[in-house]
Amino acid sequence: MKKIIAIAIIGSLLMVFTNNSIVGANNFDNNPPEIPLMPKGPSYGEIGKEYWLYTNTTDPDGDNVRYGWNFDGNYSNVIWTDYYPSRREIFYEWAPHKPGLFNISVKAEDEHGAQSSFSEVLTIFINTPPQIPDLDGPDIATTHLNSRFCAHSYDADGDPLSYMFYIEGINITDWIGPYDPGNECYLNVSWLKKGTYTIEAKCKDIHNSSSDWSMPITVAVTDLLGIRIPVINFGKVRAYILNNGRFDLKNVTWNITVQRTRLLRSINITNNDTIESLKTDKINRISTDQRIIRRLGFVNIKVEISIDELVAIPYKKTINTYGFILGRIIFVNPFFYSY
């Protein structure tokens, strides 16, 4: 009894072998797959990210096909996929690990080893994103004065860089630049309100590849002026002004008003003046010029301060509170200031 022990394809000849003879030889016509469609994918990418490449082909004999991907443009290195049914669109996941221009093409091979030619080329430019910027600047600031922050980074491809800053609770700046690699980008920030803020920076190159945000700087912002009205005043209402800024202030104008309430019809005292130079970390005293004696009742107290010179933003502050007069002693409520 003859048993088939092997089947071989030699060229276009199909041969069947038994245990003692060749029992058949027929011509076997196998057609190679058609050239795959030019790969579909992005024209631009970045190192470290993953991208999908798509293609498909048709095998005239309906055979399953696999795809050989080439990324160096000279067809010397082919990466093969598994086999897929003819005409099915397939995808290939690609994660580039170096920058440059990649000419990507693909060919197909059926289950019998017949291959197509390579497809048309898809060209993808792979870019290296810039490094996360270093951010420098103060962690203490005062309102109405500029704080200067500096960001700088490096781009492996030598591309010019633009910078963006984010200030928590305030805004995000537009892109500033571009600057040559290694050059510093400066941002002046003028604070309107005291509080605690964080500021961060990131950069992008001319291909719009962005870095991540930098490590934040936390900035404690105090009011430019510290203003205090003593709880107990004798005859006059006094206030003390402290310059919290980094330099002396010029022409600080002030006004103090003490006005009657319904129980004190005759009190309406106003005094104003200009402090020509308010030195940093120094306290200046201001007060009404008239003395209050032999009165009993409540009064409204207003202190107004304004500065227009040597500040980034004009400074104006108003304190409203109230006091109680007992003879010539004026008790000021320190818990009900309104600004």
Question: Domain coordinates of the chain in residue numbers?
Answer: 44-127, 134-222, 225-332
What confidence score (pLDDT) does residue 221 get? 93
Cα–Cα distance for residue pair 185/95, rounded to 1 Å: 32
What confidence score (pLDDT) does residue 73 get? 77
Structure tokens at 8: 């071989």
Q: Looking at domain 44-127, does it have CATH number 2.60.40.10?
A: yes
134-222: what CATH class? mainly beta
| pLDDT tens, residue by residue, 24-58 | 555 558 999 999 999 999 999 998 899 999 999 99
What confidence score (pLDDT) does residue 266 get? 72
Cα dihedral 83→115→25→23 (10° resolution): -30
Cα–Cα distance for residue pair 96/265, rounded to 1 Å: 84
Percentage above 90 pLDDT, the chain: 56
- Asked if the domains at 134-222 and 225-332 fall in one CATH topology, the answer is yes
| pLDDT tens, residue by residue, 153-186 | 999 889 999 999 999 877 788 999 999 888 999 9
| pLDDT tens, residue by residue, 137-158 | 999 999 998 999 999 999 988 9
Q: Which fold has domain 225-332?
A: Immunoglobulin-like (2.60.40)
pLDDT (mean) for 213-228: 92
207 Rama sector, left if φ>0, alpha if ψ -120 to 50, beta otherwise: alpha
